[in-house]
Amino acid sequence: MATLAINARRCSLCGECIATCPFNAISEVDGKIEIDAGCRMCKLCLKNCPEKAITLIDDKRVAVDKEAWRGILVFVEHLDGEIHPVTLELIGKARELADSTNQPVYCLFMGDQIAEQAKSLLQYPVEKVFVYEDSALRYFRVDVYANIFEDCIRAVQPSTVLVGATSVGRSLAPRVAARFRTGLTADCTTLEIRENTDLVQIRPAFGGNVMAQIVTPFSRPQFATVRYKVMSPAEKGGSPSGTVERCVVSPVRLKSKIRVREVVLNEQSPGILEAETLVVAGRGVKDKQDLELLQELADLLDGQLAATRPLVEAGWVHYSKQIGLSGRTVKPKLIITCGVSGAVQFSAGISGSECIVAINQDRSAPILDQAHYGVVGDLYEVVPSLIDRIKG
């Protein structure tokens, strides 16, 4: 990490650096110029010092021994032993990455009475499942789970750690990464790996207009969270070849400042993530009442109605139905977009769909380039005609 230093012999105490600093981080103390912790390294003082008395010192990074860190560790998310599907997607991607660099795949499973569920993971291509089992781990408490996560990483020393970008994963992963002073890339859409085991983490940036490639070359482990429905799930193999290793849970690690008074489960209703068919409303829908037309089409196809961000922000559709980088990433068998232009943020959210049918009267709409089938026309003419054909 670079720092700024003052050469006292050159400094004339002109005060130019003090006046230039926008963060008030530079002051004169006992006849000397000092830079305090408020410095944000904007380097304006460095550029504007007339005496060139301010210098930039680059601290040399200590290269990590990458050979000491091997394997890809997948965090197993579950509720009362029922494994979240994102875990299987992470295992599938972990296996792909591990095969190209000759590394093992591990799973971290913590909870209460989860022995049988842990064994079921051996049906997938994993070498070892580390199980931390205790009644105190039945419900998610971020401080306790972070303690156990840290304990496992220090024992196993994996090169890469993959966590689902769920509400649990987004809360847990940054806390654990901070304990190892290492990098974490959130909401990755693509993962690649180099021969030296550096993970190339690709995610949308600047509102989805840029696909950033992020690498953590100087520290281990490398952390990444991945959205549900972005990767393909792992397939079951033949006879299990991996093993389950029961780990000792230290009482010290179970100490928590969080008390779980009551757990109330939400009523689970099918959402757009699970739907095999989606009808999506975009800006081309002129009125909220017109959504009934698209809902009828969705019902005829045993699907669900979804929407783009503008309609959600207008209050026409519930936010849980929003598709895109700021909403949900979906992978239905069939998706029909109606009046959707196809901005980058939206397109990234449907890229895994098996069949995309786009209805748009603008021939130059980006969605038509992404669609498998494009219909250039007014949705108010095309959709009713489609409904009549299905009914007929």
All structural domains of the chain: 2-58 (3.30.70.20), 66-254 (3.40.50.620), 277-391 (3.40.50.1220)
| Confidence tier at 267 by pLDDT (50, 70, 90) | low
Q: Among 150-154, 164-168, 259-263, 292-296, which stretch is predicted with the lowest mean pLDDT?
A: 259-263
In this structure, the dihedral spanned by the alpha carbons of residues 134, 139, 144 and 145, taken in order and rounded to 10 degrees, is: 90
Q: Rounded mean pLDDT of the chain?
A: 92
Q: What percent of the chain has pLDDT over 70?
A: 97
pLDDT of residue 278: 96
> For residue 253, what are the contacts with CB-CB under 8 A and spacing of at least 6?
144, 147, 148, 151
Q: What percent of the chain has pLDDT over 90?
A: 77
pLDDT of residue 3: 83
* Cα 174 to Cα 298: distance, rounded to the nearest angstrom: 39
CB atoms within 10 A of CB 121: 23
**Mean pLDDT on 26-35:** 91
> For residue 263, what are the contacts with CB-CB under 8 A and spacing of at least 6?
139
CB atoms within 10 A of CB 69: 19
pLDDT of residue 121: 95
The token pair at 332 is 């239905």
**Mean pLDDT on 195-221:** 88
pLDDT of residue 210: 77
* Cα 391 to Cα 85: distance, rounded to the nearest angstrom: 35
Sign of CA dihedral 210, 213, 216, 220: positive
Secondary structure class of 17 (helix, strand, coil): helix
pLDDT of residue 57: 84
pLDDT at residue 336 greater than cutoff 80: yes
pLDDT at residue 360 greater than cutoff 80: yes
pLDDT of residue 63: 75
pLDDT of residue 163: 98
pLDDT of residue 274: 87
26-29 vs 32-35, strand pairing mode:
antiparallel
| Confidence tier at 193 by pLDDT (50, 70, 90) | very high
**Mean pLDDT on 165-178:** 95
The answer to whether the CB of 98 falls within 8 A of the CB of 134 is: no
The answer to whether the CB of 306 falls within 8 A of the CB of 332 is: no
Q: Among 202-206, 296-300, 331-335, 341-345, which stretch is predicted with the lowest mean pLDDT?
A: 202-206
| Confidence tier at 239 by pLDDT (50, 70, 90) | confident
> How does pLDDT run across 31-68, given as a tens digit for each residue?
899 998 888 889 999 999 999 999 988 766 677 899 99
Q: How many residues does the chain have?
A: 392
pLDDT of residue 34: 92
**Mean pLDDT on 349-361:** 94
What are the two backbone dihedrals, phi and then psi, of residue 229, each rounded to the nearest 5 degrees?
75, 15
pLDDT of residue 290: 95
pLDDT at residue 1 greater than cutoff 80: no
pLDDT at residue 81 greater than cutoff 90: no
| Confidence tier at 268 by pLDDT (50, 70, 90) | low
pLDDT of residue 269: 65
pLDDT of residue 92: 96
Identify the residue whose tokens are 């079921």: 120
Q: Among 4-13, 93-102, 190-199, which stretch is predicted with the lowest mean pLDDT?
A: 4-13
The answer to whether the CB of 377 falls within 8 A of the CB of 362 is: no
pLDDT of residue 215: 95
The answer to whether the CB of 196 falls within 8 A of the CB of 208 is: no
**Mean pLDDT on 173-181:** 95
| Confidence tier at 352 by pLDDT (50, 70, 90) | confident
